[in-house]
Each structure stands twice: as C-alpha cells, then as structure tokens.
Chains A and B, each alone.
Chain A
Amino acid sequence: MQNYQFHGPRTVGEALNILSERGDGCRIIAGGTDLIPALRNEDILPDSVLNILEIDELTGISEEGDTIRIGPTTTFTEIIQSQVIKRSLPLLVEAASSVGGPTIRNRGTIGGNICNGSPAADVLPAVVALDGELELQSKALGTRIIPAAEAVEAPYQTRFNRDELLTGILIKKLPSETRYAFEKLASRNAMARAYMNISIVLKLDEKGAFSDLRIVPGTLEAVARRMSAAEKILMGRQPEDSLVEEAADAFVGDLAGVWIPDYKLPVARSVFKRVLKRALNGSGVE
C-alpha cells in the first residue's frame, strides 16, 4: 500500500476542515470493507485517509417526525437489529441482511454502500426504491440534500464533490399497508456479490389497483434507477397474471442491451416476477 497520512476527527466540523484542506488526495474511510481492498490493490493512491467512524454525530438511527434519519456510519448489523427500521422500513432489513456475512455486516456501513457506487451494491437500490434522500455537507457548499437516485453518476463514481461528506440518509416511513420485497440472486447464500437484486415498494388502493410503485434493480444496469416502463404498465391497474407478464416484458425491455448480456434476461424476468409476487403476497407494514 502506498503511504498516506491518517486523520481521525471527532466532529463533522473537523472532518469538513480536513476535507476542504486536503482536497482531491483525501479519501474517507468508514468500515473500510470496500476501501481497504482498493488501497491494497493500489486502485486508489490517496495521500491522506480520513476515518469517520469516531464521529458520534454520524452514527445511529433516529425518528424525526415521519422521517427516519440514518447516520452514514450505521452498520448493516445495526440496521438489521433496529426496531425502528424493522417497523417502518423493513425492506432495508432484507437488503442489509443479504450483504456479505456477519463480519462484513458488523463493519460495512450504509453510507459506504452508497458512496462506493458499485453497480452490485445491495442496499443502495433499496434506498432508491424507498425514495431516500442524502444529506451532504462541505465547507464550500454548506448542507445540501439530493435524492439517493441521483447519487451515482457512473460505476464507482458519485456526483458528490471531493470535499463533501455524506452526513445523513433520510427516508420517509412507509405509509401503513405499503408492501415491499427484496430479492438477491448470487452464486451462494452468503459472501457473494449479487448477479442481480431487485427492490420493490408498492401500495394497492381499495380496489386492489397499484396506487404507488417503485421498482429498482441492482447490478442489471450501471447505475440503480427506477424501471419506469414496468411501473407505468402496472400503475392504476390490478395485478392480474397477464398484466404481470406484460410488466415483466417491459422490465427486461427496459434493460436490454444496456448493461447485461441477453442470456441473463430470462433470469431477470423470472426474478422480477418472483419479487413482485412476493411483495403482493406480503402483509405490508403496519
């Protein structure tokens, strides 16, 4: 590994000062589960590394009215064990449970998953499906909030400025009766990066028709985004089998040729149907 200077600030203010002074050569480290392998491979050669795990303000889960605020250094284990998340954002529990194994979940953070910008991230697409927002802070721009859907520009490249720190993930509690499902397809049940994952959040009105629907796959495209073609077909209509088939065609049609080879499309199609059916059959949040 190339040598670098190590910074261990205790407050967001100190961290922002260091980021503004050190500029481009400074890399933030949280759980390090993505960064340390990249440092070892010398994929990145920072001249300083800024540890944010000792900044108390950046960790933990709190409720602010109808919004849940998740500190970026909150680990997957903490998300899985949180009663607040279990009750109001259970989709995140499913996505976080699918990451790595226990040691990776004890160290890996939700902020790191978002900021790493990997196409194979499991939790980032779930945050997008939940319409999450990201709070960014820097000395230059102060505080700004952007939709999680806009965080990643290209694989491993965020739209954040180099001196910006992700300081909070803000997600509205799911309204009662919202249904959800997350599915991941990988070579093994644990310790395996996703071949594909799909997050779905939906609501049916009193007639049983889709009144809210967000479908966000991971790994199937360079950057996680909502599958608007499939969403459009389903919205306002009742989930009959023929409609689900039509939506599945639209789902893969939207993907075709962009990021995954054609031979994987039938698999994506059947995972889509499976996760949609699971969401429809689920009991929904209270």
Chain B
Amino acid sequence: MAGKEDKVLLRMKVNGEEAEVAVKPTWTLLRVLREELGFTGTKKGCEQGDCGACTVIMDGKAVNACLVLALQAESKEIETIEGLGTADALHPLQKSFIEHGAVQCGFCTPGMLMSAEALLRENRKPSLEEIKIGISGNLCRCTGYTKIIKAIESVSQKNREALTPFRGQ
C-alpha cells in the first residue's frame, strides 16, 4: 500500500481505450479526466454534485465525475462526451440538440448529452416525464430546458417509430 504522499497507479478504460495514470488518492475522476488525460469535454462546474456539468457514464450508469474518487474508478469503464460522437459522425442526440437549438453557451451540453444517453440506453422510448427526471440533475443557465427536452423527445420518438411494425395501408 502506498504512503500518504505517493501517487498510485490507476487503470481504467476511457471511451474504450485502456488508460493508465499515476494519481493522488485525493484526486477525483473529474480531475484525472480533464487534467491528466485531456478529456476537457467533461466540464467542471460546482464540484459538489449539484450542476451535472461533469456527468460521465461509468459502467453503464450516469455519475458525477466530481463525486467519484479517481481510485474508485479502478477497472471501471468510463465514457465521456468525446466517446459519444465525432465532428464527422455525430451521435443522434448531438444532431438532435443542434437541430432543436438546444445549445446556447454549451457549458451544460456534454453533461446533458451523457445523462440523455444513459437514459436512452435504459429506456429507448422515455416519456416526457421520464426525460425530465432523466436530466433533473443537470443545470442549464441558458436554454430554459424546453429545447433540450424537445431534442431528447425527438430521438425517443424516432426510436418509437423504428420499433413500430409496419401495418400496411
């Protein structure tokens, strides 16, 4: 076991790739993602669990990266906004956010998208109420939420249509 001042080796998977990084036991997952690994798409807001800007998906569940000690992420699979889509191949949620004007300053957007993605993986066709609950841990100071909810609803609606069997005339 390492002494008090020592760094400890942390191994985890970030966006499908193995990451190995020496961390201090006091560091949070948020700090490691942003400052050691360069995944700055994950935003640092309140660092108290209140704003959701730091939301990432850990072993399939949306979590606040500011409320996970880095060493608690040992052997876990982390997904950040950088793993969701790329500029040339946007994720359906990202496309929908743009189409619906759900992004203003953009600070909340990565966290919103990760919460929405975690929701849609568990529930492909969430209701309006379920969408509101799904993003209830994410603060947005700009949009008033309506367009964000519409953007997620539209992806949910497409999922619904894709799953509805064709009934003919």
B71, A8: Cβ atoms closer than 8 Å: yes
Interface residues of B in 70-124 (CB under 8 A from A): 71-72, 74, 115, 118-119
B67 contacts A33, CB within 8 Å?
Answer: yes
Provide the bound-state CA to CA distance between A271 and B115, in Å.
Answer: 32
Within 8 A of A (CB), among B140-165: none
- Of the four ranges (under 10, 10 to 19, 20 to 34, 35 or more), the interface on chain B belongs to 35 or more
Cross-interface CB contact of B137 among A2, A6, A102, cutoff 8 Å: A102
Q: B11 an interface residue at 8 Å Cβ cutoff?
A: no
Contact B3 A102 (CB under 8 A): no
Give A1-29 interface residues, CB cut-off 8 Å to B. Answer: 1-8, 29
A3 B68 Cβ-Cβ under 8 A: no
Is A36's CB within 8 Å of the partner chain B?
yes
A278 vs B128: C-alpha distance in the bound complex, in angstroms?
A: 25
Q: Is A77 an interface residue (CB 8 A)?
A: yes
Q: Are A102 and B134 in contact (CB under 8 A)?
A: yes
Q: Which of A33, A39, A53, A54 contacts B49 (CB 8 A)?
A: A33
Contact flag A39-B137 (CB < 8 Å), given A101-B52, A103-B49? no
| Inter-chain contact A190/B133, CB cutoff 8 Å | yes
A37 within 8 A of B: yes
Which residues, 1 to 49 on B, are CB-close (under 8 Å) to A?
A: 1-5, 8, 24-26, 28, 47-49
Instruction: Kindly provide the distance from the CB of A68 to the nearest chain B CB, expressed in whole angstroms.
Output: 23
Docked Cα-Cα span, A3 to B64, in Å, equals: 22
Number of residue pairs spanning A and B whose beta carbons lie under 8 angstroms apart: 96
Instruction: Kindly state whether residue A177 has any CB partner on chain B within 8 Å.
Output: no
Would B1 and A37 count as touching, CB distance under 8 A? Answer: no
> Please, which residues of chain A bring their CB within 8 A of the CB of B64?
33, 103-104, 107
Whether the Cβ atoms of B63 and A103 lie closer than 8 Å is yes
Cross-chain contact of B47 among A2, A40, A54 (Cβ < 8 A): A40
**Contact string against B for A residues 70-95, beta-carbon threshold 8 Å, 1 for contact and 0 otherwise:** 00000001000000000000000000
Q: In the complex, which residues of chain A have a beta carbon less than 8 angstroms from the beta carbon of B8?
A: 6
Residues of B near A246 (CB, < 8 A) are none
Closest chain B residue, CB of each to CB of A77: B61
Contact partners of B115 in chain A: CB under 8 A: 102-103
Do residues B69 and A103 form an inter-chain contact, with CB atoms below 8 A? no
Cα distance A181–B128 in the bound complex, in angstroms: 25
What residues of chain B lie closer than 8 Å to A77, measured between beta carbons?
A: 61
A49 in contact with B62 given A4-B26, A40-B47, A101-B137 (CB within 8 Å): no
- Hey, which chain A residues are within 8 Å of B133, CB to CB? 101-102, 190
Q: Tell me if A254 is interfacial: C-beta within 8 Å of chain B.
A: no
Is there contact, CB below 8 Å, between B67 and A107? Answer: yes
Q: Are B52 and A4 in contact (CB under 8 A)?
A: no
B23 to chain A: closest residue by CB: A6
Question: Distance (Å) between the CB of A113 and the closest chain B CB?
Answer: 14
A189 cross-chain contacts in B, Cβ below 8 A:
136
User: Does A106 sit within 8 A of B, measured CB to CB?
Assistant: yes
Smallest Cβ-Cβ distance to B74: which chain A residue: A8
CA–CA, A4 and B133, complex, Å: 36
Knowing A39-B26, A40-B47, A103-B115 are in contact, say whether A191-B137 is a contact too (CB < 8 A): yes
Q: Choose among B24, B67, B71, B136 the residue that contacts A191 (Cβ–Cβ < 8 A).
A: B136
Q: Does A100 touch B at the CB level, under 8 Å? A: yes
Distance A4 CA – B134 CA, assembled complex (angstroms): 35
Interface, chain A (partner B; CB < 8 A)? 1-8, 29, 31-33, 36-37, 39-40, 47, 49, 51, 53-54, 77, 100-104, 106-107, 189-191
Residues of B participating in the A interface, judged by any CB pair closer than 8 Å: 1-5, 8, 24-26, 28, 47-50, 52, 55, 61-64, 66-69, 71-72, 74, 115, 118-119, 133-134, 136-138
Of the A-B pairs whose beta carbons lie under 8 Å apart in the complex, a sample of 27, sorted by A's number, is A3-B5, A4-B25, A5-B1, A5-B2, A5-B3, A5-B4, A6-B25, A29-B69, A29-B72, A31-B67, A32-B69, A36-B68, A37-B67, A49-B25, A49-B69, A53-B72, A77-B61, A101-B133, A101-B137, A102-B134, A103-B63, A103-B64, A103-B137, A104-B49, A104-B137, A106-B62, A190-B137
